[in-house]
Structure 1
Amino acid sequence: MIWIKRIGKLLAGLLLTVVFFLLLLYRRDIPAEEINAKYQTPQSHFIEVDGVNVHVRFLGEGEPIFLLHGSFSSLHTWDVWQQELSPYYLTISLDFPGHGLTGPDELKRYSVKDYSELILALAEKLNLRKFHLAGNSMGGAVALQVASTRPDQVLTLNLIDSSGAPRMEARSLDSTQTSSRGGGAWVFKLIENPIISTVFLKCTPKFLFAMNIKEVYGDESKIQSETTDRYFELMLREGNRRATLDRLSMPRKSSVDFKRLTMPTLILWGGKDSWIPVSQAYALEKAIPGSNLIIFDDAGHVPMEEIPTESVAEYLSFLGVEVRKKYLDPNKQMVYAD
């Protein structure tokens, strides 16, 4: 009987410890009005597309470029790229449903196909018959789907550490789909656990986001505290945590016909990407005839954040815009645009 009491006390102590720990991790949803006030910019607009109020940011003028972010991210990942591209192009970044300031979709349309249909609907609403596409990670998979569905509308395609590469030999369909979401992204697998996911809805530890960002950067010293805060707080936007769980639990619907991707294509990749390995870059290069592949040896999964000016310079060159090699200098000047 004594040992039963001791075990009971031990279990009660463990339970109290767990409850106390969860209380420390508890994070309330941040109301839309509050998060909007902090993170929207003068270039922000909210455009209704198929029943979803999509947060869109416009900068510049000229031929349009859609900039498509990855999973867990937001349009802010393109901050520097938008600034550098805007002297020559109309840049259009957006928060996909379930991300950033857009928030959840009542109909739970979170698949790659759903997002690609949203891009095409937004282009139609903006009366854009042709446009360039640039996408990172999940956003790259969306760009692939859009380009495959409407190649006549896509002027060029830019894939940055993109998911959605074709199935490689000796891989099962399931393993390919897993790598499409990020082979090294343990956080995906973690929150797919039903117990963890239930806790995640209310108790979201910030240190997991810090660890996550360290994974996607090749050089940890380049991570700014503001970046970690932004990723964390945008996830806490009301409805985004639930939307994330819904998105990760649904089938991965996409159907890319790589033979239809005949537009000029640039593939940019971080050599230290631990989420989607460089082997996927070579698979995409092989699948898209005539594509150009550039690997940044010291960058991770998000070169447009980690090495924004170096990566955007390659994209500008691909688009026909020449820049000075050292245009990181304070007195930088763009030379010309074709």
Structure 2
Amino acid sequence: MKLSMETYGQGEAIVLIHGMGSAATAWKPILSELTKQFEVVTVDLPGHGRTPYSPIQQMDPTSLANLVTRNLKEIGKERFHLVGNSLGGWISLEIAAITPEAVRTVTALAPAGLWLTPFTSRYPGELALRAMASGVEKLAPSLLNYTWAKRIGFETVSPRWKDLGYEICLDATNAMASSTGYFPAWDALLGKRFDKQIDQQIPITIVFGDSDHTLPAKTCQERSLAPSHAKWVVLPDTGHAPMWDSPTEVLAEITQTALLKR
């Protein structure tokens, strides 16, 4: 299937892959700075953002990795850096493992899949979360002007939820509300974890926030599952979307990792 992709800037290609229930709009806080150094390619996964969901598309991380790689090849991107958040971080690691010849570097922000015990069911409350986002989508432009509404939507995602910009919150709410691929992606990762080897010649940086309640350190940040040569960074006062809470630090990690390219 064809993915919706947008390209910005000039330079070596760097591909940004969002998380589950999100969209390419999640990268806005760091997009303009990245375009000063790279040709940035943003991707909308199936059933997210501008890419429609297809029931015949497999939604597990390995299948999505192959899908992203095929789409990149179709637009002439044979070699690239990867940056992914959450599910997008897992997909980035899969791409590096499956097609190492295409990957210059990987920066994985709060990547999913690094858990010793794979999930056997969705998080409790996931249905309610998506229903809530869908239910308030039309009201969100008004509701997000109120602190109480912003708190309900983002307190568990970001320790700096009070500081998140209106546009970030509105984009995130709309992305979740319209993500027809959300539950298929959830169900496709059940029973799985990242378990592949990655060429040690590929520089890898893994970034987590110290306040990530979506993928907690005790259960979902198992360093033994990460590539042994990966740089592991924990950012202070940062949640599950490090590019929102700590954009300057995230940009620095991406740039430093990219300089280590093969």
The answer to whether the superposition gives a TM-score over 0.5 is: yes
Count of aligned pairs: 249
Q: Report how far residue 302 of structure 1 moved.
A: 0.6
Task: Give 2:119's aligned residue.
Answer: 177
- Cα distance change, pair 279–102 in 1 and its aligned pair in 2 (3 A): same
Q: 1:189 aligns with which of 121, 124, 127?
A: 124
Where 1:269 maps in the other structure, the secondary structure is strand
Matches of 1:140 and 1:151, distance apart in 2? 15
Q: 1:72 to 1:282 in 2, by over 3 A?
A: closer
In the TM superposition, residue 244 of structure 1 has moved relative to its aligned partner by 2.5
- Structure-to-structure mapping, 1:1-338, within 5 angstroms: 50=1, 52=2, 54-165=3-114, 167=116, 173=117, 176-177=118-119, 188-192=123-127, 200=131, 204-205=135-136, 211-237=152-178, 240-241=179-180, 243-250=181-188, 252=190, 256-262=194-200, 263-279=202-218, 283-284=222-223, 287-320=226-259
Distance verdict in 2 for CA 1:104–1:144, change over 3 Å: same
What displacement does 1:156 show?
A: 0.8
Q: Residues 232-279 of structure 1, C-alpha deviation per residue, up to 9 Å, x if partnerless?
A: 223444xx34x3333334454767454334211111111111111235
Deviations 1:264-303 (CA, angstroms, capped at 9, x unpaired): 1111111111111235686236631221122111111111
* TM-score (normalised: structure 2): 0.81
Query: Could you tell me how far 1:160 is from its partner in structure 2?
Result: 0.7
**% identity of equivalent residues:** 22
> What is the rounded CA distance, in whole Å, between the counterparts of 2:134 and 2:158 in structure 1?
25
* CA drift at 1:189: 2.5
What is the TM-score when the length of structure 1 is the normalising length?
Answer: 0.65
The CA deviation string for residues 206-253 of structure 1, in whole angstroms up to 9 with x for no partner, is 68886342211121221233322222223444xx34x33333344547
Amino acid at match of 1:245: F
Q: 1:165-192 CA distances to partner (integer Å, 9 max, x unpaired)? A: 152xxxxx4xx3369x8xxxxxx43245
Greater share of helix residues, 1 or 2? 1
Q: Distance in 2 between matches of 1:157 and 1:205?
A: 36
Q: Distance in 1 between matches of 2:87 and 2:151?
A: 20
Query: Cα offset for 1:81?
Result: 2.1
Q: Contact 2:115/2:221 (CA < 8 Å) preserved in 1?
A: no
RMSD: 3.0
Matched-pair contact (CA < 8 Å) for 1:218–1:301 = no
Name the amino acid aligned to 2:107.
N
> CA–CA distance in 1 between the matches of 2:20 and 2:126?
13
- Higher relative contact order (CA closer than 8 Å, sequence separation 6+): 2
> Mind listing any 5+ residue stretches in structure 2 that lack a counterpart?
138-142, 144-148
Q: Contact 1:166–1:283 at 8 Å: present in 2 too?
A: yes
Larger Rg: 1
Residue in 1 that maps onto 2:146: none
